[in-house]
Amino acid sequence: MHVMELPRKVVVGDEIIRDMGNILEELEVGASALIVWGPNVKKIVGDELLESLEKKSFKINWEIVGPSTFQEVERISKLTKKTRASFLIGVGGGRSIDIAKLSSFNSRIPFVSVPTSASHDGISSPFASVKGLNRPYSVVAKPPIAIVADISVISKAPFKLLESGCGDLVSKRTAVRDWELSHGKTGEYFGGYSANLALLSADLVIDNASSISTQDQDAVRVVVEALISAGVAAGIAGSSRPCSGSEHLFSHAMDIVAPGKGMHGEKCGMGSIMMAKLHGLDYIQIRDALSLIGCPIKASEIGATADEVVKALLLARDIRKERYTILNETNLTDETARSLAKDVGLF
């Protein structure tokens, strides 16, 4: 049995935070909302969002969230019961949305994703990443019932967040190729539609690299819509396969080897350059697109050393032993891993 879980409504536009009340009323998600966000996000969009909900007579509680940890998810889950929330709203970047996503999953209530940056595809996917779950990768939760992406807000976020989102998107090229490889080698289910949707998201970034570098609102919208589409591809596939392959394993390994160095999407982008070469794909096109956008393509640009990159490459295959990727086909050694990273220009 194959189950697809998708958002019911996706709203993308300028200054649409002020329409949140109308959007939620149409969704018929209940009358009591619990909003989770960070302190800076609340300052930016809080008044407008609260005013919009109050006009539609929603009962509102809100909470400032801390670090993205399992303990914080438990705290918010308990708060949903205490406030008798009928739905959750996650407002912000990855942290607030992931906490809302897992808390709503635990509480069995819907959640609405309101991204204020475009740093990764978690804004629409059914997967969440928090610390304290004894694994460095995302876990299955539920997709948002709705996504409300205000481009006028997202375009004002630091450019570093946007380029991280671009790195995450470009990496779908190698993720899909890994999925195809696994299908042929292990018989794992492969969904052509979701794979092509993920590839389309990657191609949109590569084709629009020059305009994205300007952080123009139209270009930001391209990235946001591509991220939403990539997350939906995961929902259609019923797994993260179309969006996460060997390049994500490298990123997770870097989190262990060199914690705090580089954003998730930045490391996925770097990983995709190397994995593309292993797959025999056009890694130069990927590298050049990332460079044109302004994404880091050298280890030193995220403060990482050559030795850390090599250690992460050697560790990556064992991050998820059940997931077959190009790393299972290539028994990297210290020498070949170092040569790979050097050949593609990481150092």
Distances (CA, A) of 118 to 97, 106, 162, 245: 12, 25, 5, 20
User: What does pLDDT average to over the chain?
Assistant: 94
CATH topology of domain 160-343: Dehydroquinate synthase-like, alpha domain (1.20.1090)
Strands (E), the chain: 9-13, 32-37, 59-64, 87-92, 111-115, 127-128, 139-140, 146-150
- Enter the tokens of residue 84: 């008798």
**What is the reported pLDDT for 264?**
94
**What is the reported pLDDT for 135?**
64
**What is the reported pLDDT for 102?**
93
Residues forming CATH 1.20.1090.10 domain(s) in the chain: 160-343
Give backbone dihedrals phi and psi of 313, rounded to 5 degrees, phi first. Answer: -60, -40
Distance, in Å, from the CA atom of 62 to the CA atom of 255, rounded to the nearest integer, reads 31
In the predicted model, is pLDDT for residue 141 greater than 90?
Answer: no
Say if CB 250 and CB 319 are below 8 A apart.
no
pLDDT category at 133 given cuts 50, 70, 90 is low
pLDDT in tens, 179-214: 999 999 999 999 999 999 999 999 999 999 999 999
pTM above 0.95, yes or no: no
**What is the reported pLDDT for 137?**
63
Residues forming CATH 3.40.50.1970 domain(s) in the chain: 9-154
CA end-to-end span of the chain: 46
The burial of 39, by beta-carbon neighbours within 10 Å (0-12 exposed, 13-18 middle, 19 or more buried), is given as: exposed
Mean pLDDT, rounded, for 317-344: 96
Mean pLDDT, rounded, for 331-337: 96
Mean pLDDT, rounded, for 316-334: 95
In the predicted model, is pLDDT for residue 136 greater than 80?
Answer: no
What is the side-by-side strand order in the sheet with 111-115? Answer: 9-13, 146-150, 111-115, 87-92, 32-37, 59-64
User: Of 297, 300, 266, which Cα lies nearest the Cα of 169?
Assistant: 266
pLDDT in tens, 56-106: 999 999 999 998 888 999 999 999 999 999 999 999 988 899 999 999 999
* Domain 9-154 part of CATH 3.40.50.1970: yes
Give backbone dihedrals phi and psi of 123, rounded to 5 degrees, phi first. Answer: -65, -20
**Percent of the chain, pLDDT > 70?**
98
pLDDT category at 131 given cuts 50, 70, 90 is confident
